[in-house]
Each structure stands twice: as structure tokens, then as C-alpha cells.
Amino acid sequence: MKRIIIVSILFSILFSTPVFAIDEGYYSTISFAVRSIGGERVSYDDEKVKGDSTYTVVRQNTIDSLTDDNYRRRTYNRFQYVALPPYSEIDIGYYWYNNTPDIVNVETIRIPMSRQIQERGDATKMLYDIGFEEGVTITNSHYREGKYLDVEGVGLISSDVGDDARKGVVIATLTIKPPVEITEYQVEYLSEYTSEVIVHIRNNTEEYLENVEINYKGNIDFPVDLEPYQEVDLLVYKTCTLEGNSINCGYMRIKENDIKTYCTMYGGSWDNYNYPSDSITVFNMIDGEWISGAQVQPAVEAFCIQRIPYIYTTEEMIVYIEPEEPEITQEQYWQELLNIDILPITSCQFSSKLEKYLTLLKPSRVDNL
């Protein structure tokens, strides 16, 4: 009998199948939702905007509505794509189901922000950096390279067995950065009709931006082509108003017509959960180990952010002139130095001894007494 038990144990060790992350009993996934669109100085075509609000997506959905195949597969093309102008905010929703009888401590949540081969997709290129990192994530069944965002986990999660899944929570907010910015400007006031304005323009991306239009006066647009990360100075002539010690040159507009899309994931074939790693929607650090979340299927790009064409209007371009200090007269100089009232000198005569004495008192920087 003992021999049978030993053989049975050896057989189970030698021929057992590995326990993959999807079989651990903790399931999770993410979503993209729209927190805000553009800003008060950004105009765009409403018809090009894509995406649902955070309230509609995160507050109204659970992992049940976003996955199938027992929480393992991310529902195809549901809350995975947004198209927005710069300065828009994107909320990342997080959803889970603890299908174990135990309390689970989710210490860290890792969100993939690029494909493993980053040239195929890297959303960080169009976002303000909020702590993106680059490295390798290893689970029991997956090895994934690329960029990611680590956020604080949701902490202790009690067992959900027998209970309905809970609504999602927002774990991070992304902001689309403008590809082109006016970073500074200088103004030389020439007359009430004309002023020289030098505008410093910067390409914030590694994209080649063609035919960026700078509108500086009425219907006058100045087209600019920008190499990746290029900075240029543009000289234009505007009508500026001089009021007191300030020069107001009004507004300028940046019009960017390009559409750019970056996707962070690529799905695997149906029912294949072990390859490729680009399909994993999220990772969870539990008890010091990474656990994979639901995976994208079929083999299509997923979790994409698109920047749509827009027009950005600057704030009023105002520069201030330093007021000139009035020239100090000799009487004012001596009055301030001696702290006494000095009457204007009309006509007087000095003795030779007194004149020599005053000469000795005279500071070297005063030319005439």
C-alpha cells in the first residue's frame, strides 16, 4: 500500500500540469473611460470624440459585464478605445472577482502602457508622464516586457464566492499632452500699429509634425513643419496695445490636423491563454507574486488612445515693461545723503578753505557740486 502511495505521489509530481495565473482564483481586468474632454481653450470636432464617461463605464459595470469564459477573456472591444483632443483626461477603471475562500491582498496593480516591441504601440508617447516605468513582468505563465504604470493596489479583498461582483474603481488618470506648445514669447513694441513678437514653439513628441498652423492675426496662418522634439523661434508682426507699463498682444492659435493612435495591447487567438503576453490587460501583485488578469482575444489591437485634430487658443500674451527710474538731481542726492532739506543754490561765494573742505567731502561718483 505504501508503495502505491509513493508511486502515486511521484507520478503527480512528474506529470502534473503547472498552475497558471488564470487558475489562481483571483480575476481582474481594466477599462478606459473619459473623465474630461479638452479644456476651455481647446476646440475640436465633437463627432471625432470617442469614449464613454467614467460614470457610465466604471460606476455601472463589474467584471461580469467586461469578461467571459469564466472571467478569463476580456469582452471584445468594450470600453477599450478613446479618441480625444489634448488636455483630455482618461480614467483607468479596475474590476475584480476573488473566486477563492480566502482574503487576498492586492499590493500593487501594474497596467501595461506599451507593446513588448514598443514601435508597435506605446501610449506613453502622447501622455503626460505620471511615473511610467520600463521593465519585465513575470508570472507563472507569462513573460512581458515594455512600459507600464504601477499604482497602489486595492488592498485586502474578501472572498466573492457566492456573491455578485462589485462595481469598478478608478485607479489612475491619464492626460493627453499637446504635441505642440508655445513655451515663451518676447515682444518689442514699435508703434500703436505694429509690434514684433518672437514665439518659441516646441514639438513635444517624437513624431514629424507637418503643416502645424500658427494663427497670429485674423485669418493669417503660418504653417510650420516640426522635426521630432524640435524647437523653433517664429517672428510675427501683431498689433499690440500699450497700457501703462504692459503690452497686450492678444491671442494666438495652434491648429494641429494630424490624427495619432497608440495601442498598448494585442490579442491572442481564441482560447489561447498562454500566448502572446501582449494580450494581458493587467497584472496584480499578490503575496509577492504577479498574477495575470483577463486577456484580450481575438488577435486585434486593444486599449488604444487616439489624439484627434484640435485648435488651441493661448491666453492673452502680455509682457510688462520695467518703469525707468527717474534721474536723481544733485539736490536730491545730498538731501538723501545728509537727511536734511537742501534749498536750491542760486548764488554764493565760498572761501578758498571751505571750497577745499567741500571738495574733500564730495563723493568720487558726483561730477559736479
Helix (H) or strand (E) holding 336: helix 330-338
Taking residues 334-357, report their average pLDDT.
57
d(CA 26, CA 294): 10
What pLDDT is recorded for position 342? 58
Report phi then psi at 5, rounded to 5: -65, -45
* Residue 316 belongs to a domain: no
Instruction: Give the integer Cα–Cα distance in Å for 176 and 90.
Output: 8
Same domain for 252 and 264? no
Is residue 42 a part of any domain in this protein? yes
pLDDT at 209: 94
What is the SS3 assignment for 327? Answer: coil
| Element spanning 358, H or E | helix 352-361
pLDDT of 83 higher than 60: yes
* Claim to verify: residue 122 and residue 228 sit in the same structural domain: no
Output the pLDDT for position 117.
Answer: 96
Same domain, 46 and 170: yes
Quickly state the pLDDT bin for 204 (edges 50, 70, 90).
Answer: very high
Question: Same domain for 143 and 189?
Answer: no
Q: Cα–Cα distance between 106 and 20 in angstroms, integer?
A: 18
Same domain, 192 and 251: yes
The average confidence (pLDDT) of the chain is 86
Structural domain boundaries, residue 216: 180-256
Q: Is the dihedral of CA 18, 21, 23, 26 positive or negative?
A: positive
Provide the 3-class DSSP secondary structure of residue 337: helix
Is 272 found in the same domain as 126? yes
Q: What's the total number of domains in the chain?
A: 3
Tell me what the mean pLDDT of segment 340-366 comes to: 52
Per-residue pLDDT at 21 exceeds 50? no
Q: Grid coordinates in use for 335? A: 538731501
Q: Are residues 159 and 304 in the same domain?
A: yes
Q: What is the CA radius of gyration of the chain?
A: 34
In a domain, 3, yes or no: no
- The answer on 190 and 204 residing in a single domain is yes
pLDDT score at 274: 82
Same domain, 40 and 84: yes
Question: Is the confidence at residue 6, as pLDDT, over 50?
Answer: no
Q: What is the pTM of this model?
A: 0.80
pLDDT band of 275, cuts 50, 70, 90: confident
How high is the pLDDT of residue 324?
62
Task: Kindly state whether residues 47 and 140 are assigned to the same domain.
Answer: yes
Whether residue 132 is found in the same domain as residue 278: yes
Give the pLDDT confidence score for residue 365 in this predicted structure: 44
